[in-house]
Structures are given as structure tokens and as C-alpha cells.
Amino acid sequence: MSKLTFITGGARSGKSSYAVDSAVKSEGETAFIATCAFFDKEMEERIARHRKERPDNWHTYEESYGLTGLFKKIGTEYDIFIIDCVTLFISNLMLKNSDEELIINTVDQLLEMFDNFQCRIFVVSNEVGMGLVPDNPLGRKFRDIAGNVNKMIAAKADEVFFIVSGLPLKIK
């Protein structure tokens, strides 16, 4: 059975760095799964910078929509997975006109798949429930879906960390 670690926190709080550092300490064949699609030049530069920060022997997969399909292909090939990040994955699915039920079902399928793996899985997501209520329906829908998905992952996780200013707070 896999060991699932959920890492959440605010934007630029150090979530990804904590996931990378934890994976390095875990030692093993590692796959980094980036969910961000290329949107503009600044984002492309940010992604290139993040790629350079990862160990050279890691395998990077960039998958914006089809995480379950990707895990069906590579799920047994690695000792460690990092998924970074769930909120971008949700954004991608919403931009593709996926409704809340489809997004929730997709995440549920992914979590069920993890039960069949023998590996470490680090899942990174932004905590969206500590800010202002968005002033538009799309923003509120995103916050609601992301909040529900985060709760699903946290409930299933063996460990949950909340990152504040680069410091991990173990919640579970």
C-alpha cells in the first residue's frame, strides 16, 4: 500500500520545496508530475526555473488534465511521486469545461488508484479557504471545488502538512 502525504498552504509558502526535500530524503526512483499548462512567457520561465531545481535523475511529466491516465501508464514504475499541484489541475479541468461532479470523480478515481501502489506519494495543493470570498461566481466555484478536493485528499492521506512561511506544521 502506498503512503500518501498531503502538503497544503498558501501561495509561495514553500509547499513545493517541502515536497521536493521530503522526496529526496525518501530515496528512490522519483517522478515529478507537474500539472501546469504553459500559459505565457512568464509561466514558461517559472516552469524552466522549477525544472532546474529538481534533481537530474528525476523524471518529470507534464500533465494538465489526464492524471488518471498517466498513473495507469507509469503507476508501478517509480518509488516516489510528487503531484504539483492539485489547484492548477482543478483550474485546467474547469477551463476545459469540466463540471464539479466530473472533477470530484476524477480525484476520487486517482485516490483509489493509489491504494494499489507500493510507493510514496506527495500531493501539493493550495489552501483556498483562508482568503476573501471571491467576488464572482467562477472564483467561488473554484474555491468550493478546490476546498472539497483538498478535504478528500486530506481524509485519505496518511500525513498532512500545512506550510507557513516555509515551515511545516504537521496536522495529521
From the candidates 10, 14, 24, 50, give the one annotated as an active-site residue. Answer: 50
The DSSP secondary structure of 89-151, one letter per residue, reads HHHHHHHTT--HHHHHHHHHHHHHHHTT--SEEEEEEE--TTSPPPSSHHHHHHHHHHHHHHH
pLDDT reported for residue 21: 94
pLDDT reported for residue 38: 65
**Class of the CATH-defined domain 3-170:** alpha beta
d(CA 62, CA 67): 10
pLDDT reported for residue 75: 86
Residue 26 burial (10 A CB sphere; 0-12, 13-18, 19+): middle
Q: pTM for this structure?
A: 0.93
The residue extents of the domains of the chain are 3-170
Residue 130 half-sphere exposure, CB side, CA atoms within 13 Å? 8
pLDDT (tens digit, 0 to 9) for every residue of the chain, 172 residues total? 789 999 999 988 999 999 999 999 998 999 999 998 667 888 778 777 777 777 788 999 989 899 999 999 998 899 999 999 999 999 999 988 889 999 999 999 999 999 989 999 999 999 998 888 999 999 999 999 999 999 999 999 999 999 999 999 999 9
pLDDT reported for residue 27: 86
pLDDT reported for residue 149: 98
Please say if 50 is a catalytic residue: yes
